[in-house]
Amino acid sequence: MTMITDDLLLNQKWPQEREFLQIVIKYLEGFSRKELAFQRIIDNHVKGISDILVCYHGVLVLLELKRDTGKPTVHQLRYIEKMEMAGGVGAVCWTLQDVVNTLERGKRVSDGYRKED
């Protein structure tokens, strides 16, 4: 797993979602291909689809990225809920720490633990 040692970077909220997206992509690119694959989603035709879809240790992980004052739409929350009902993991992320925590939840699911455990 990629290590981030800078607490300021981990907990920083970004005024522009584009900047945050670039940081998250750089972070995800630090993983080995056997461990993680991801796809940035740009789709104006499907309401609510998450910004980044990740396959982490065989588990679908959804990352909905938000700028510092951003709020998820009802469609985004429903999409995450729908995928979680089918065994995936998802979250709205305002910080890189949120992304790390969501990936860790995905790893726990791949190890046989559910969100409720």
- Express each pLDDT in 60-108 by its tens digit: 999 999 999 999 999 999 999 999 999 999 999 999 999 999 999 999 9
pLDDT value at residue 117: 46
Note the pTM of the prediction, 2 decimals.
Answer: 0.88
pLDDT value at residue 114: 59
Mean pLDDT of the chain: 90
Look at residues 94, 97, 101 and name the one whose alpha carbon lies nearest to residue 56.
Answer: 101
Whether 23 is covered by a domain: the verdict is yes
Whether 4 is covered by a domain: the verdict is no
Whether 26 is covered by a domain: the verdict is yes
The full DSSP string for 37-85 is EEEE---SSSTT--SEEEEETTEEEEEEE--TT----HHHHHHHHHHHH
Q: Provide the number of structural domains found in the chain.
A: 1
Whether 9 is covered by a domain: the verdict is no
Q: Please, which pLDDT band fits residue 115 given cuts at 50, 70 and 90? A: low
Mean pLDDT of 3-32: 87
